[in-house]
Amino acid sequence: MPRGKYVNHKGRSRHFTSPEEMEEEMKKKHRSKDESDESEEESASGSEAEEDSEDEDHKAKGVESLIEIENPNRAPRKQAQKVSAVNVDKANKPELSRREREEIEKQRTQAHYQKLHAEGKTEQARADLARLAIIKQHRAEAAARREAEKKAKEEKKKASTSK
């Protein structure tokens, strides 16, 4: 509804009443006057006449009954679906977006790489294992050196105390 007191008619399509419609309206007015007289006498027959006049309002006007125009821009009404059909549709997995598919694929490849890495089949795992082997070897050598120094000190101590 327009706001305010005045309505702007600019840009609206014009509506012209056809002569047939005008005649129909005149007949309805005459009928309604006659029916009002009858309704005072019989209230039941008046209600039936009103139902008939409502049906006439819904009839197609002019060429409308001959031509059925369907607007392609107007969305069609959704028809009721059976519950069984709806359940079947929900059972199918929805289509994933490109980003979601890429994210899932990235997670799969990362998990696969971690599995291979744990088994020692990747280049990085081999390099890590080689580095660990070198470190273990250095530690073992250092421990052997310390042990040898310790024994040497003990022997010096024994030799100095035995003198």
Instruction: Give pLDDT tens digits for 64-111.
Output: 777 777 777 877 777 887 777 776 655 566 788 999 999 999 999 999
Phi-psi label, residue 18: left if phi above 0, alpha if psi -120 to 50, beta otherwise: beta
Structure tokens at 94: 């929805």
Q: What residues make up the domain containing 150?
A: 125-163
Give me the mean pLDDT over the 136-158 stretch: 94
Asked, for residue 143, whether it belongs to a domain, the answer is: yes
Amino acid sitting at position 5: K
With respect to residue 148, please indicate whether it lies within any of the assigned structural domains: yes
Q: Closest Cα partner for 22 from 60, 61, 49, 66?
A: 61
In a domain, residue 160? The reply is yes
Give DSSP secondary structure letters for 72-108: TTSPPPPPP--HHHHHHHHHSPPPPPHHHHHHHHHHH
Report the domain count for the chain. Answer: 1
Query: d(Cα 114, Cα 160) in Å, to the nearest integer?
Result: 59
What distance in Å separates the CA atoms of residue 59 and residue 21, rounded to the nearest whole number? 11
Does the residue 35 lie in any domain? no
Domain-located, residue 97: no
The predicted-structure confidence for 15-60, as pLDDT tens digits, reads as follows: 788 899 999 988 988 887 777 666 655 554 444 444 445 445 556 6
Q: What is the pLDDT of residues 109-145, one digit of tens each?
A: 999 999 998 888 889 889 999 999 999 999 999 999 9
pLDDT greater than 60 at residue 1: no
| Residue 43 within a domain | no
Residue 7 lies in a domain: no
- Domain for residue 133, yes or no? yes
